[in-house]
Amino acid sequence: MKKIIPIGADHAGFELKELIKSFFQSEHIEFEDVGTHSLDSMDYPDIAHPVAEKVESGEAELGILICGSANGVAMSANKHAKIRAAICWNSELAELARQHNDANILCLPARFISTAEAYSIVAAFLSAKFEGGRHQRRVDKVSC
């Protein structure tokens, strides 16, 4: 069974988004690409909100967002009540974001990681599972 992952990027993350989609296509992953579809300048909230809405509604379990620094997409996505978007620049952070923080959206800083690092980060994020236990209490306190 394929896992459907909404993915989106602004113009700074467009090329990395396309590479990630291509690299993981042989895995049991289907990406729902919410944009952007070119290098033309655009506003990162326009892709962050649709990905966050899909995860928040339960239509998808996890999502991926990419922009130059990952800050803009993370800030936008985290405005949604059920979203825990984590900026990750290495695979260890991605694992911990899932295991300890139950992160449900991975935010990648396209201008600060290599393509190989991105592949490793995505793989770590998608394969890690929330550990619950003592971490659940903390996650429960995140929402205002």
Q: Active site includes 67?
A: yes
**Residue in the block written with tokens 């952007």:** 36
Lateral strand order in the sheet of 85-87: 29-33, 3-9, 63-67, 105-109, 85-87
CA 122/CA 119 separation, integer angstroms: 5
C-alpha gyration radius of the chain? 14
Contacts of 26 (CB under 8 A, 6+ apart): none
Other C-beta atoms within 10 Å of 85: how many?
26
- The residue from 49, 80, 88, 100 that is catalytic is 100
- The residue from 67, 80, 88, 107 that is catalytic is 67
Beta strands at 105-109 and 63-67: parallel, antiparallel or unpaired: parallel
Q: Active site includes 80?
A: no
| Catalytic residue annotation | 67, 100
